[in-house]
Amino acid sequence: MRASGRIDTDVAERALRVLGVDEGGLDEMDRRVLGILCGAYSGRPVGLQTLAVSVQEDSETVEDVVEPYLIRLGYIARTPSGRLATAGAYRHLGLPVPRGVPGAAAVQPELL
């Protein structure tokens, strides 16, 4: 038994690090999905099958396990054309947010 059987903040943080969960609550698979959406397909919609193949996971697992959590956090948007990473996903990964990404600040044109 570790930590004398008591769970405090330090013990919980160490356990999450061992499990690969980051400060935002994302595990390795969550970060892989966001990495694909923000990297290779940056700003373009990605179909479920393509996304699943890209992260080497079954499409049902991506759709039923990974996607709902990322959608709830506001990191991906499901559109008729496919899945899109939102500005929050780019920020979580420490990447610059491209124009036109859902949730990106709209740049207002200069008036006059």
Report the predicted TM-score, pTM, of the whole model to 2 decimal places.
0.79
- What are the distances in angstroms from CA 97 to CA 31, 33, 80? 16, 17, 22
CATH of domain 28-92: 1.10.10.10
- For residue 107, the model assigns a pLDDT of 53
- For residue 108, the model assigns a pLDDT of 53
CA distance 2 to 43: 45
Mean pLDDT of 32-55: 93
The string of pLDDT tens digits covering residues 14-39 is: 887 888 677 888 999 999 999 999 99
Q: What percent of the chain has pLDDT over 70?
A: 90
